[in-house]
Structure 1
Amino acid sequence: MNIVFEYLYRDAGNYKNWESVVFSNPRAHDIDTVRASVRQAMSNAEFFDAPAARLPDLHFPVFCAELDVPLHEFFDVSDTDQAPDDLFGRSIDQLLVEIGNFGR
């Protein structure tokens, strides 16, 4: 099974942009292990820098630096039979490395 990684950007007005990216799972990790690993890789368990992790940036066209936050929010992961669609052809393990490198 492959892994769907779901995340969003939430601005100061609580407007949201959602995205999901499918990653390969060549080591056949179970979904609970992947979910725990994602949270552990993020410095505060739910926020991360999507562009630094080479994921699509979901910021709205108008950004208010005084109110809006620069980080994206992790929502969840799930198993899928869908084909991987990550633009860089990464596995879920490779994504975790990139998310874990943010802010360290």
Structure 2
Amino acid sequence: MSALKNNLMFEYLYRDPGNYKTFGQIIFTNKENVRIEEATLIIVNRLIDKEYFYPLDAGVPILCEDNFNAETDWYEFIKFSHTPAKINDTRDVRTFLSNFETY
């Protein structure tokens, strides 16, 4: 697999009180060839109810600053996937995952 196709995309969403959804994605390099299953397992085992997280604690960009409350608003993890898209975050996926290891 080429380095570009080995990039990993982290997909997540913010659901506001009216149930409107805003989707986000972060694309990381994957120099250590972390498998999607491994990345997912690390994340899911540390999420609130295996699904939710506080974005600031996890190092995830805020999607809706106008309505966001850092103390109460949770974001939802959707999935990891391989992508040929260019990175939009300077961290390697392993560095990003380390945020969840201490979460």
TM superposition score normalised by structure 1:
0.79
1:99 match? 100
2:29 match? 24
> 2: CA distance between counterparts of 1:70 and 1:54?
14
Deviation of 1:85 (Å) = 1.1
Aligned-pair identity in percent equals 29
Aligned pairs, number: 97
Please report the RMSD computed on the Cα atoms of aligned residues, expressed in angstroms.
2.1
TM superposition score normalised by structure 2:
0.79
Runs of at least 5 residues in structure 2 that lack an aligned partner in the other structure? 1-5
CA contact (8 A) 1:39 1:46 kept: yes
1:35 match? 40
CA contact (8 A) 2:9 2:26 kept: yes
Runs of at least 5 residues in structure 1 that lack an aligned partner in the other structure? none
Q: Deviations over 1:13-44 (max 9, x none)?
A: 11111100101111112222222222123243
Which 4+ runs in 1 deviate beyond 4 A? Answer: none
CA contact (8 A) 1:50 1:57 kept: yes
Deviation of 1:72 (Å) = 0.7
